[in-house]
Amino acid sequence: MNKKIVIIGGTACGPKAAARARRCDQQAQITIVEQGENLSVATCGLPYYVSGVIDSRQELLTRGPDFFKEVMNIDVLTQTRALAIDRKARRVEILNLGTNRTSTIDYDKLVLATGSTPTVPDLKGKNLEGVFTLSKIEEAQAIRSLVSPRRIKKAVIIGAGLIGLEMAEALTSQRLEVSVVEALDRVLPALLDFESAAYLEKHLREKRVNLLLGQRVTGFEGDDKGWVDKVITEKAELETSLVLLAIGVQPNTGLAKDAGLEIGTTGGIAVNQHLQTSDPDIYAGGDCVENVNLVTGQKILAPLGSTANKHGRVIGTNVTGGDESFPGVLGTSIAKVFDYNVGRVGLSQWQAEKAGYDVVTSLVPGYEYATYYPNGKEIMVKLVAERANGKLLGGQVVGPGDTAKRIDVLATALSFGATVDDLANIDLAYAPPYNSALDPLHNAANVIRNKQSGYARALTPVEVENKLKSGDDFILLDVRSPGEWEAYRIEAHQSRLLPLRELRRKLDELPKDAEIVIFCQTSVRAYQAQRILDGAGFKDVKFMDGSIAAWPYELSTERKAPPPF
């Protein structure tokens, strides 16, 4: 008898599981149940549809029901909602949303690919017209119909995550005044540490995005026609004609809960390495399940299309008799935010410290390829490693240059448990149009190795700023050139200028018992200066990680002479 495989959900994981199952078993009876009108919608492309980069919504519909039937011999029931699972009878009750008629469909193997739903906070005015989420092509179409004809002028985005920032670019490109409200103190708070986020925030402000960080939304107000016209936060009132809620998603687990399947501590459906639920005949994948973090071994949610497609392939193999495992995820993410490319993989510093790791980090500004080759663009790399053994825990790469290949290198390294020693010596391709002789990743790994060996001692920009605010008695030594000092500098009474080229012959001008923190443009000269002072017998010398290129605070451009020692 032909095996009956029923798949609930038709966006990413479901169609992938169906296609893989068909390739593995040409006789199986495969059915996809999808409550929407469309199948295999490329939802990651929705911001680009709103902006007009993707012109037609049809381009986001990668495979339709006809393709699955004619090419794959897979039945597709669109506009059909799964209501309940009878595990004992191996049967699913379904509702045809067009006819409002219920029926049942039997299964031997069942796949739950029910996805996730955008989080909507319980706030006054949340149901006003003009308050949107973005997870469906219909929502993108409704937003585009407002912004493309220039019918509105202002928009407020709640949440500075990936969708929020991608939509900030999309709406700004349509000439809207865009404000982004984030409850935490930085953009992309689930992905980036403060320094990386601040580096990106400067670019967002240059693009005239109004950032309201560390503020919670308390409600929305509307006009006499029921259309939103104001967002109320703890500190401000923002006029608007459109609100986008982009504060995250929740896994759709209602069907699984009602069927008595185990739900994990994260709120996602619990699955084993074969993506089986607590019922061995029911599999689950995509946004609705919890995953294993490959660094910590802990359970996490990872609502990404890339993960969903990997899940689908594993499930399609296993429901047809195969034995494939899914090891877990690193949370690898990347996004285009205006002219910057923003990527992360593994753990951020704050996540690693929260998980109990003793960490060492590096913050290294650089260029995407050789500095002497024209038109190279900047990137900034942050690495996080375990202090004792140098094992890589995570990385972030931000800037207008090529971050994607660095994130992919780090994802590969983390997957195989690499250390900073491994990364420093990995044989990456080099030619001036593509890279420098030492990639920024090599440099970032070597900074950590120098710290481990005791050659390098550093403070982060945040730590330096805290010392300045506290009025600490130390010398903040700028070893750049006088011209760089005049162009911009850190304005503080502790600041002094002593160019690196003059340092050796002017050592007597520096007090040997003083605490000295050195910086330059990218920390290369600052580290060299630290080693010079170490060799001259200075006892308390450090450099600032990332130096001015990574400095997230205000810089002075007022022309004035450096203060004397």
- Burial (CB count within 10 angstroms: exposed 0-12, middle 13-18, buried 19+), residue 154: middle
Name the residue among 63, 19, 56, 20 with its Cα closest to residue 41.
63
User: Which residues is 536 bridged to in the sheet?
Assistant: none
Provide the 3-class DSSP secondary structure of residue 458.
strand
β-pairing, 290-292 vs 299-301, is antiparallel
CA 77 to each of CA 69, 109, 285, 359, 399: distance values in angstroms, whole numbers, following the listed order: 11, 17, 19, 51, 44
Catalytic residues: 44
Provide the 3-class DSSP secondary structure of residue 271.
coil
As a residue count, the chain comes to 565
- Residues contacting 35, CB < 8 A, separation 6+: 78, 79, 80, 81, 82, 97
Q: Are 434 and 462 in contact (CB under 8 A)?
A: no
d(C-alpha 318, C-alpha 193), whole Å = 39
User: Which residues is 102 bridged to in the sheet?
Assistant: 95
Q: Which amino acid is at 419?
A: T
Q: Specify the residue for token string 């609100």.
A: 243
- Residues contacting 145, CB < 8 A, separation 6+: none
Provide the 3-class DSSP secondary structure of residue 536.
coil
Token pair of 7, please? 């798949």
d(C-alpha 72, C-alpha 68), whole Å = 5
d(C-alpha 196, C-alpha 186), whole Å = 9
Vertex 305: Cα angle to 161 and 7 (nearest 5): 135
Q: State the DSSP code for 198.
A: H
- Residues contacting 508, CB < 8 A, separation 6+: none
Q: State the DSSP code for 293.
A: B
What is the distance between the terminal CA atoms of the chain, rounded to a whole angstrom?
90
d(C-alpha 143, C-alpha 163), whole Å = 14
Token pair of 159, please? 């949440």
